[in-house]
Structure 1
Amino acid sequence: MIRFLIEIICVLYLIRVIARFLFPFLFQSAVKSAMNNAQQQYQQNYTQQQQTRKEGTIKIDHIPEQNKKKGSVPDSEGDFVDYEEIK
């Protein structure tokens, strides 16, 4: 029984030592592959944008709406609440 426990402890210790060296290597290779994939996608998107747009053209993503009334409070400012000052 004692021999079995000693063997289990030795096996677990060996697994721990091997994992200490193996996991950083696996993690590093996974990070490198993810970085390469992201870089390739960025380059593909960049080249597609450059090919579709001619030189000297301007692209506007968002045109804000013009307020119909000048001096009106936009909705994002909140509601006006009437109050009376108490003296």
Structure 2
Amino acid sequence: MFGRGTGAGAQQVPFAFVAEADRFRDNVTPPPRERAGTGEIAGRVLIGLVVVSGLVGSLLLGMPALDVEQQRDRVQQQEQAGHSR
């Protein structure tokens, strides 16, 4: 027999009851999901566009700083400007 709870006052549960409980638990289907409304879909699309545009913008703004050739030219120009003073 299966004990229910712990302690001295625990009640015994018959096996047939436990087997029936498992059978009834398995035949319960969850309710169908609600379809997203137009506003919710538009909000999700808008959030996605904001995230993507932020990533693209940061890439466009960061690319000149990562350009090695342009960095060399800038350093050479600064060195020449420093020597001409």
Q: TM-score range by the shorter chain?
A: 0.3 to 0.5
TM-score, normalised on structure 1? 0.40
More helix by share: 2
More strand by share: 2
Q: Which has the higher contact order (CA 8 A, sep 6+)?
A: 2
TM-score, normalised on structure 2? 0.41
